[in-house]
Amino acid sequence: MKISLKGKKALVGGSSRGIGRAVAEQLAESGAGVTLMASSEDTLKKVVANLPTNQGQEHSYLVVDFTDFNAYSERISNFFEKNSVDILVNNTQGPASGGALEKTVEDYQQAFDLLFKSVVFTTQLAIKGMQQNNWGRIINVASVSVKEPLNYLALSNSIRAAVVTWAKSLAFDIGKNGITINNVLTGYFDTDRIAQLNAKKAEKMGIDTAAVRAAMEEQVPMKRIGDPKEYGYLAAFLASENAGYITGTNIPLDGGLLKSL
């Protein structure tokens, strides 16, 4: 099966590194013109310069701060005044780790703005062009914690659960326009985010970070942490014509980590 995204335009959040970057690279490899979004312009420039252009496509970037919703909403609104996209990958950095009793109402509000409001706002803007074209793909980077909450990620557990149920609701409204929306339930991947969480956990437990990673790998049936490239492969498939009958789903990408059905 050959995946071709030639002629398609994609907007990928959090794409200067980690999962977002791997997704952007695979979409570009499949022929899409990609607009990257992240906060570091220097890094974005470097990533754009190295994206594949093997099918004559052009790439660009948008400097945004997902932690400042007002500034973000203005920036992304300006973008969609002049542009439309066929593929939207909703991905931001995760909120701070910590248990439910450690977090304040303000913490939850900030996480809501970061993980939910930005996703809904961006999607609503993107859908307008997709409806005109009767074609679109929306992919939400979510987490396995929406099905099996991780006690040290109370903010992420709560708000990402809202995202996946919202996406299920939206799927009913946009399916008739040839637009799909799916959530990828992310397991353990070899990213800076995992390294940061492991470092914090190691400090709290008084053990070495290597021991934390080894314990994490042991939880996964495949006994390893995922390669972000593997995430890109799934995203490219979901963005393609081949996935036109898949919508409103939660797809675990976790090496078998989830124990529930």
- Phi and psi at residue 100, to the nearest 5°: -60, -35
Catalytic position from the list 72, 108, 152, 245: 152
Cβ of 202: how many Cβ atoms within 10 Å? Answer: 16
Instruction: Write the CB contacts of 136 (distance below 8 Å, at least 6 apart in sequence).
Output: 86, 87, 88, 126, 127, 129, 130, 174, 177, 178, 179, 180
Is the Cβ–Cβ distance between 16 and 41 less than 8 Å?
no
Sign for the CA dihedral angle at 18, 19, 20, 24 comes to positive
Q: How far is CA 174 from the centre of its chain?
A: 20
Helix axis angle for 209-219 and 192-205, nearest 10°, is: 110
Strand partners, 61: 36
In terms of DSSP bridges, do strands 9-12 and 33-38 run parallel, antiparallel, or are they unpaired? Answer: parallel
CA atoms within 13 A on the CB side of 190: 10
In the annotation, is 188 catalytic?
Answer: no
Catalytic residues: 152
